Homo-oligomer: A and B are copies of this chain.
Amino acid sequence: MPKFTKKRSLKTGLPPGSLVHIGQYDNKNTMIEVFDYDLNTFTQYKYTENAIEKFELLPPVGEKQVRWINVDGLNNMDIIERICKSHHIHALVMEDVLNTSQRPKIENYDDYIYLVAKMVYFEQETMVDEQLSIILGKGYVISFGEREGDVFNQIRDRIRKNGIHLRGNGADYLAYSLLDAIVDGYFGVLEKLGDKIDDVEEQLLNHPSVEGLHKMRELKKDLLYMHRSVWPLREVTSWMERSESELIESTTQIYIRDIYDHIIQTIDTTETFRELLSGLMDIYLSSISNKMNEIMKFLTIISTIFIPLTFVVGLYGMNFKYMPELEWHYGYGAVIVAMALIAIAMVMFFKRRKWF
């Protein structure tokens, strides 16, 4: 599960606009990919950490072309600052790009729109997250990820393979596609979480254990995190859908409504899962209670049958000189029979009370 607080406090006391990288990943290999395309042409550039200064030599984008600059890794603050400054991005945006403890949000700076979202996925049974910043300007999209991933591979492919939708539309459609890829990823996470909840439910019902409890708590935290990542996107996409910004065309807004729907669905399912989980705690507690009851019942039955019998045998173990029963020839037999009758009576009493 991702941490709920990142080391934001590093920044305490710094003036606004100070560039400090706050994040969980220490990715030394910043990589920049640039795609310039329109319906007919397409060029791709790639700069890795050790040749990153060559980025300066990037030729200007063609007229009517869309440029997508994708940056993976936030440790090289210098290059990020240069990219932002060349596009006249506000210092506060640069600051937010580097600070990965952002809440998903959208901000309209008239010339460009700044958007933050969280990618969530499972890595070896553990939920991890990654912050993605998207800057949508006139004819360009800049995206900043925390590490090299393959979420956008399919978009890269569609650009390369002359995907008519993608290449035929503007930068807003590209931004939409990036967001769509992120939101699509949520469904996989939810399915995984659904399966895990089913597993835990079965485990808690059949073998209530502390281990199951831990898993439950882990899941609860995952869902909380999921909720925090997805909930604000509702507002983000709702704004985009209704926005009158020139940067988003109305044909694209139909697609954004689609994302909006997916987000509502994700939120819905997250809520449902949280309700299911919270009900599990009750199940667990009552399973424990039941088990305790069973143990107590067993103890009570054994004890209450034998305690009176033990008294009886103790009685005839007394050493009084004058105890007539001891002298009787059938005394012993009579006592055995009496005790058997007591035991049978007890058992029948329990039966009637349905304790068996």
Where the two chains meet, the residues of A that have a C-beta atom closer than 8 Å to any C-beta of B are: 3-5, 7-9, 11-17, 90, 92, 101-103, 105, 107, 154, 158, 163, 165-166, 177, 180-181, 184-185, 187-188, 190-191, 194, 205, 210, 213-214, 217, 220-221, 224, 228, 254-255, 257-258, 261, 264-265, 268-269, 272-273, 275-276, 279, 281-293, 295-300, 302-304, 306-311, 313-323, 325-332, 335, 355
Contacts and interface: CB of A to CB of B under 8 A. Distances in A.
Contacts of A261: 102-103, 105
B303 A13 contact: no
Given A12-B188, A299-B300, A355-B295, A326 B316 contact: no
A8 B189 CA distance: 11
7 contacts: A14-B154, A17-B165, A103-B268, A298-B304, A302-B308, A306-B307, A319-B326
Nearest to A320: B332
A228 B270 CA distance: 12
A255 B299 contact: no
- The 6 A-B pairs of least Cβ separation, nearest first, read A313-B314, A316-B318, A8-B187, A299-B300, A9-B188, A320-B332
Given A5-B190, A293-B292, A276 B320 contact: no
A28 to B, nearest CB: 25
A297 B295 contact: yes
A289 B292 CA distance: 9
The number of times this chain is found in the oligomer is 5
Nearest to A176: B16
Contact of A213 (B5, B158, B286): B286
Nearest to A265: B103
Contacts of A11: 184, 187
A284 B335 CA distance: 44
A258 B298 CA distance: 59
A269 B318 contact: no
B331 A185 contact: no
B4 A269 contact: yes
Contacts of A224: 272, 275-276
Most interface-central of A14, A293, A323 (chain B CB within 10 A)? A323
Given A15-B177, A292-B296, 19 more contacts: A4-B276, A5-B194, A9-B188, A15-B166, A92-B258, A103-B265, A210-B287, A224-B272, A288-B289, A295-B296, A299-B303, A302-B307, A302-B308, A303-B303, A311-B313, A314-B314, A316-B319, A317-B319, A319-B326
